[in-house]
């Protein structure tokens, strides 16, 4: 089924080229279907890149999806034109009276700051509090996942001796986990972070479980026991070239950056990387939407009655 997004969003052309079907408001009204409402809080600097990555995954499903894009009003983005945000995004004040089947909070390049040093942290706290009652299921990515674990469970991250940067193979610990339906025993995922979460701090929380982990680098996917909150420390949404672009950016800036591990054939950065995580990315997001569809309320207002 098509994905309903704001009419005129520039990335629609690329989605169409990739055969991801989109539709506008007028077309959606002709279909007698209650779409899944998904809200994306996009904290990444290059918002159009992240839009494309996530909408590509959300649009590859038989369900009709309606997406709202949101940005933090308390921080002025420097890598995305304000005209783009004004036309295609909403602020928290504009959506706070709505309810959503799913909320996605992306990563952000702020992990080397203390949480209270992040410009928009107070607004993010407000959004997280609001989401407790107004979003049926939540999916947090990378820094977004680390902060959510800290905010809801008091779990601190820790700094890695060197950046975890590359493609790594993780073990699936729970074969019957609906989120990982169709996964093999192991899967590959891009990682690009300076911080992590220890296994012991997750295991100390009775409401959390580690779904996948690496023998050296710890967890990648953490869920609540009811599967309604999902914390992804990696970046399954990344494109083939994303790590390459990050590497080239840091190298050109004169930063001390190692080659991303297990990424370039023969560790030769002139060669095209293998896209080894693509099918798992589609599977995970498809499984998430399917689980939300099966368990959410037909009348979204009923979410407000839940005791969370």
Q: In this predicted structure, what is the pLDDT of residue 273? A: 98
Does 263 score more than 90 pLDDT?
A: yes
- Residue 58: count of CB within 10 angstroms of its CB: 24
Strand order in the sheet with 208-214: 22-23, 3-4, 65-70, 36-41, 100-105, 135-141, 229-232, 218-224, 208-214, 158-172, 186-196
pTM above 0.85, yes or no: yes
Does 29 score more than 70 pLDDT?
A: no
Q: Which domains does the chain have, with CATH numbers?
A: 3-159+194-240+279-305 (3.40.50.880)
Does 288 score more than 80 pLDDT?
A: yes
What is the distance between the alpha carbons of residues 168 and 243, in angstroms, rounded to a whole number? 13
Written as six digits, the tokens of 228 are 């309604």
Axis crossing angle, helix 143-153 with helix 121-134, rounded to the nearest 10 = 70
E strands present in the chain: 3-4, 22-23, 36-41, 65-70, 100-105, 135-141, 158-172, 186-196, 208-214, 218-224, 229-232
**pLDDT over 90 for what percent of the chain?**
78
pLDDT: which is higher, 73 or 33:
73
- The DSSP output letter for 235 is -
User: Per-residue b/e over 10-36, b at no fewer than 16 CB within 10 Å?
Assistant: ebbeebeeeebebbeeeeeeeeeeebb
Q: In this predicted structure, what is the pLDDT of residue 27? A: 54
- 304 pLDDT band (50/70/90 cuts)? confident
- 152 pLDDT band (50/70/90 cuts)? very high
Write down the mean pLDDT value for the chain: 92
The residues that are catalytic are 142, 235, 237
Rg over CA atoms, the chain: 19
Q: In this predicted structure, what is the pLDDT of residue 7? A: 74
pLDDT, tens digit (0-9, with 9 covering 90-100), for 185-210: 999 999 999 999 999 999 999 999 99
Q: Is 270 annotated among the ligand-binding residues? A: no
Quick check: 292 and 228 in contact, CB under 8 A?
no
What is the distance between the alpha carbons of residues 11 and 59, in angstroms, rounded to a whole number? 13
Quick check: 270 and 237 in contact, CB under 8 A?
no
Q: In this predicted structure, what is the pLDDT of residue 78? A: 79
What is the distance between the alpha carbons of residues 61 and 115, in angstroms, rounded to a whole number? 35
What is the distance between the alpha carbons of residues 168 and 198, in angstroms, rounded to a whole number? 17
Q: Is 16 annotated among the ligand-binding residues? A: no
Q: In this predicted structure, what is the pLDDT of residue 20? A: 67
Q: In this predicted structure, what is the pLDDT of residue 124? A: 98
Axis crossing angle, helix 278-295 with helix 47-58, rounded to the nearest 10 = 70
Query: Which three-class secondary structure state does DSSP give residue 196?
Result: strand
Does 87 score more than 60 pLDDT?
A: yes
pLDDT, tens digit (0-9, with 9 covering 90-100), for 104-147: 999 999 998 999 999 999 999 999 999 999 999 999 999 999 99
- 179 pLDDT band (50/70/90 cuts)? very high
Q: Is 192 annotated among the ligand-binding residues? A: yes
């Amino acid at each position: 089924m098509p994905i309903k997004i704001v009419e005129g969003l520039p990335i629609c052309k690329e989605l169409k080229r990739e055969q991801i079907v989109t539709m506008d408001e007028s077309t959606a009204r002709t279909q007698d279907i209650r779409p899944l409402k998904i809200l994306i809080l996009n904290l990444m600097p290059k918002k159009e890149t992240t839009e494309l990555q996530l909408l590509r995954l959300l649009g590859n499903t038989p369900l009709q999806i309606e997406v709202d894009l949101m940005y933090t009003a308390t921080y002025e983005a420097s890598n995305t034109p304000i005209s783009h945000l004004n036309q295609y995004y909403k602020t928290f004040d504009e959506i706070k009276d709505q309810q959503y089947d799913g909320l996605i909070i992306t990563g952000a390049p702020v992990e080397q700051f203390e949480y209270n040093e992040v410009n928009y942290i107070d607004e993010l706290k407000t959004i997280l509090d609001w989401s407790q009652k107004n979003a049926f299921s939540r999916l947090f990515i990378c820094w977004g996942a680390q902060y959510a674990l800290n905010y809801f469970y008091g779990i601190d991250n820790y700094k890695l001796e060197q950046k975890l940067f590359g493609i790594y193979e993780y073990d699936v610990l729970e074969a019957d986990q609906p989120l990982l339906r169709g996964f093999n025993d192991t899967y590959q995922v891009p990682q690009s972070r300076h911080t992590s979460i220890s296994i012991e701090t997750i295991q100390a929380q009775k409401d959390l479980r580690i779904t996948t982990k690496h023998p050296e680098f710890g967890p990648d996917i953490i869920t609540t026991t009811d599967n309604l909150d999902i914390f992804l420390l990696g970046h399954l949404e990344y494109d083939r070239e994303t790590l390459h672009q990050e590497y080239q950016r840091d190298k050109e800036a004169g930063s001390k950056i190692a080659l991303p591990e297990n990424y370039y054939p023969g560790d030769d950065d002139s060669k095209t990387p293998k896209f080894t995580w693509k099918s798992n990315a589609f599977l995970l997001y498809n499984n998430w939407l399917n689980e939300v569809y099966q368990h959410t309320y037909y009348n979204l207002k009923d979410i407000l009655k839940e005791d969370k």
